[in-house]
Chains A and B, each alone.
Chain A
Amino acid sequence: MIKARVTVTLKNGVLDPQGKAIEGALGSLGFEGVGQVRQGKVFDLEIDSSDKARAEADLKDMCEKLLANTVIENYTISIA
């Protein structure tokens, strides 16, 4: 069993109104010095295989085809 984590984040230059709202809320809670907040997504996947190279190639394919919208998002894959 391979455990993997995919992190999807907005590309630089793509406006993130949700991140902005969170940033404002942190400020109103009294947290000072919070520069910029960007919201993303995390996917934890279990893959029934022991072939890490194959899993990594499949995960990349999954990101390109579904998990990320590469018009606006970047992704990183980490395998435990």
Chain B
Amino acid sequence: MKSAVVQLPGLNRDRDMIAALTKISGTPPITVWQTETEIPDVDLVVIPGGFSYGDYLRCGAIAARMPVMQAIREKAEQGVKVIGVCNGFQILVESGLLPGALMRNASLKFVCREVKLEVANATTAFTQTYEKGQIIRCPVAHHDGNYFADPETLKTIEDKGQVVFRYAEGTNPNGSINDIAGIVNEKGNVLGMMPHPENLIESAHGGTDGRGLFASALNVIAA
């Protein structure tokens, strides 16, 4: 399975993402700069975390208007899997590839800690290695992860099983509506999540709970 990692000025979690994808798939991902108008033939495109364009205007707002996003939109329409983590999630909602918006944390504080996630939908292309209702550990590090959607959109994504991860056991770090930590698009091939599964994939990280997400997305599920 071939993958690509998108790079934009201000993103700083790209190295972690490249390391995780390399370790899990055995092949380093291709890197794609923001001005590219085409993405090579890959099965998975990842937008990593960070602070693209210094979070100016709104988190992810400027990045979402860069040429590479049109290329990602085309890939997503073709059914290629797309993952946006943290700032990547913010970029995906700003670009309209995912519904809703990510607002300032209710506490107004940057949160950097570990949370618990409940796998709310284990049937997506990203959660094949998990069980529905399973609780996994995952680190978070963000200032604007407070997911919001209007009541109609919220009902739609809940009814259609588009909520994939929820903060569990009282660990909601940002005030997200319905404890939403990660969602997919209606087609199920675009995932956005605030937590960082790429930072919990090997024993050196103190756990491997995030590994299954990439194993599922990359179709390298161990027997």
Contacts and interface: CB of A to CB of B under 8 A. Distances in A.
Contacts of A18: 104, 108
Interface residues of B, number: 20
How big is chain A's contact interface, by range?
10 to 19
Interface string B164-175: 000000000001
Contact of A65 (B65, B103, B148): B65
A66 B148 CA distance: 19
A40 interface: no
Given A15-B106, A18-B104, A71-B101, A66 B61 contact: yes
B94 interface: yes
B105 interface: yes
B149 A71 contact: yes
B222 interface: no
A17 B108 contact: yes
A21 interface: yes
Interface string A17-30: 11001000000000
Interface of A: 13-15, 17-18, 21, 65-67, 69, 71-72
30 contacts: A15-B103, A15-B106, A15-B146, A15-B148, A17-B103, A17-B104, A17-B105, A17-B107, A17-B108, A17-B146, A17-B175, A18-B104, A18-B108, A65-B65, A66-B57, A66-B61, A69-B58, A69-B61, A69-B94, A69-B101, A71-B93, A71-B99, A71-B100, A71-B101, A71-B148, A71-B149, A71-B150, A72-B101, A72-B103, A72-B148
